[in-house]
Amino acid sequence: MLAEQGGLAFLQAYLQGRFLTPFSELTGCRIDADGQLAASAHASAQLIDSSKRQKQTVSEVKRILATLLFTDIVGSTEHARRLGDGGWRAVLSQHHNAVRCRDRAVRRHRVDTAGDGFFVRFDSPARALDCARAAREAVKRLGIDIRVGIHTGECDRQGRTLTGMAVHVAERIQGLAGPGDILVSSTVKDIVVGSDARFEDRGQHSLKGMPGEWRLFSLADYEVSRRLAAQPSQTPARGPPTRRFGMKIVIIGGTGLIGSKTVPILRQGGHEVVAASPNTGVNSITGEGLKEAMAGTQVVIDLANSPSFEDKAVLAFFETSGRNLLAAEAAAGVRHHVALSIVGTDRTPENGYFRAKVAQEKLIEASGIPYTIIRSTQFLEFLGSIAASSADGSTVRISPGLFQPIAADDVAAIIADVALAAPQNGIVEIAGPERAPFNEIVARYLKALGDPRGVVSDPEARYFGGRVEERSLVPLGEARLGRIGFDEWFPRSRARA
C-alpha cells in the first residue's frame, strides 16, 4: 500500500531538512554540496567538545531490538563519471525527490549515510519492507537501481549511535543483493509471516566475519513491478545520457539460449542491440562481419559457445574466437567487454572445457580492453542433459558435491545489468538461489519430470570428464544470486517445451 503512495524517506532526506536532527550533528562530520559524507579528521574531538559545551554527559549503552536497512545505488560511480558533477547532482535530486518520506512515517527512524549508501533504523520489519519496496519502485522510473539489505536483531545504542553484530549482518546482506533486490534475513521473514509480503528463498550463505550460515530471502512484489515497468522512464534533467540510454551493444552468440533472452532486455532499455552469430553474418572464428559489427559499438557481450566439447576443439574455438573478437574490439574502441564463463573453471583442471574457458579469460585480461567476466553456475535448463550424460542404464550416477543451478532468465537479466554498468576489470560470480547436493537436485528434477530412473550418489561420478569436489561447482565467496528457484522454473520450462 505504501508503495503506491510514493517512496519513504531514507535516501538523504536530511538534506531536505526533513529530520529533527541534522546528520552532521549526529556524527560530527561535514556534508559537502553534493550531499556526500566528508569526514572531519577531528570529528570525534568536535563531538566530545560539543557535548562538553552543552554540559551533556555521555549516554549509557542500551540494548535495543531494531530493524536495520542498508541501501546502495547501483552503478553510482559510472553514473557520476558519465554525467559529470552537475548532471549527477540533477539525477540525485530527482532520485531524492522520488523517495522523499512523509514526516509521520519516519518520526522515530534514524537515517545515516556514507557516500551512496544509506542506513535506516525502523521500529518494525513491516515498515522497513514498505520503505524499501516503495523506494525501489520509485527510482526505477529514473533509470536507477538500488539494492537493499534488511535484518532485525538486537544492537547497542549509545545516544544516537548504533553498533553491534546486527548492524554488520544487515550490511553484509545488502552486499549480497543484486540490482533491484530487497534481500532479508530469515528473522525478518519470520516476523512478518501472515502479512502480504511474499518471499523467494535465496538459500544459505556465509556472511563475511559472521559466524555460521545465514538463510536469506528476496522480497517479491511482482504486481507493483509489472505496473511500473509499463511506465516510461525519466532521463536526467541535465547532462549527457548515462550508459543506460542509447548505446550500441553487440552480443556474440546473440541467437543462443542466453543471447536470445538478453537481446530483448537491452532493446527494451532503448539500446541498439546487434544479435551477432554466423547465421546473421558475424563469425568470430573466421572473422567475417566483425569489423562491420563493431563500428560504433560501446559494449560487446561474448556468449559464443563451441560446437564441439572435445578437448582440443573447444580450446581452439575459444582461443581463436577470443583473439579475433578482441582485436576487432580494440580497433573499434569498444569500452566494455563482457564475457560469460563458468564458476569453478580454475578449480577443475582435468575438465577440458573448463581449461578452454580459463584460456579465454586470460586472453580477455591481457587485451587491455576494460572488461567484466561473469562466472555462472550451471543453468537449470541443462539438468536434462546432465542426467542423460550421467545415465548408467536405469540409474543416474551423480556426485554429491554442492550444486547451485541458475535459470537462464536470471543469467540474461544479470548480464544485461553488468553490461550497462562500469567495467569491473575482474570477475563477478552468479548463482541460483538454492544450493544443495548435486545428486539431490538432479533427483528432484527427474521426479518432477515423472522420470522413473533412480539417482545414485557417487563421489567418483564425473561431470563432463572432471571430478567434482564438495565445492567445485559453487561460488566460494560472495555471488550475485538469481531470483528464480526450481519450483518456479520447472513449470515455466514445461510450458515452453
CA nearest 169: which of 190, 180, 155?
A: 155
Mean pLDDT over 135-153 rounds to 78
In percent, the amount of the chain with pLDDT more than 70 equals: 74
Mean pLDDT over 348-364 rounds to 91
Say yes or no to pLDDT of 120 above 70: yes
Domain ranges in the chain are 2-39+58-229, 248-496
Could you tell me whether strands 161-163 and 146-158 are parallel, antiparallel, or unpaired per DSSP bridges?
A: antiparallel
**Angle (CA) 189 190 196, round 5°:** 60
The reported pLDDT for the residue numbered 143 is 66
The reported pLDDT for the residue numbered 128 is 85
Q: What backbone torsions phi and psi does residue 66 show, to the nearest 5 degrees?
A: -145, 155
- pTM of this structure: 0.55
In percent, the amount of the chain with pLDDT more than 90 equals: 43
Say yes or no to pLDDT of 298 above 70: yes
Least confident of 36-50, 253-267, 331-345, 412-426: 36-50
What CA–CA distance (Å, rounded) separates 59 from 449?
Answer: 62
CA nearest 181: which of 116, 112, 132, 232?
A: 132
Q: What band does 3 get if pLDDT is binned at 50, 70 and 90?
A: very low
Q: What band does 46 get if pLDDT is binned at 50, 70 and 90?
A: very low
Q: Would you say 112 and 4 are in contact if contact means Cβ atoms under 8 Å apart?
A: no
Q: What backbone torsions phi and psi does residue 204 show, to the nearest 5 degrees?
A: -85, 145
The reported pLDDT for the residue numbered 103 is 33
The mean predicted confidence, pLDDT, of the chain is 78
Residue of 327 and 494 predicted with greater confidence: 327
The reported pLDDT for the residue numbered 78 is 65
Least confident of 52-61, 160-169, 395-404: 52-61
Q: Thinking of the domain 248-496, which architecture would CATH place it in? A: 3-Layer(aba) Sandwich (3.40)
What CA–CA distance (Å, rounded) separates 231 from 244?
Answer: 16
Least confident of 121-130, 294-303, 349-358, 386-395: 121-130
Cell of 394: 536405469
Say yes or no to pLDDT of 450 above 80: yes
Place of cell 591481457: 366
Least confident of 174-183, 404-413, 466-475: 174-183
The reported pLDDT for the residue numbered 349 is 82
The CATH topology of domain 2-39+58-229 is Alpha-Beta Plaits (3.30.70)
The set of residues, in sequence order, having a beta carbon less than 8 Å from that of 53 and lying 6+ positions away, is none
The reported pLDDT for the residue numbered 234 is 33
Q: What band does 108 get if pLDDT is binned at 50, 70 and 90?
A: very low
Mean pLDDT over 3-13 rounds to 40
What CA–CA distance (Å, rounded) separates 235 from 221?
Answer: 25
pLDDT in tens, 315-351: 999 999 999 999 999 999 999 999 999 999 988 888 8
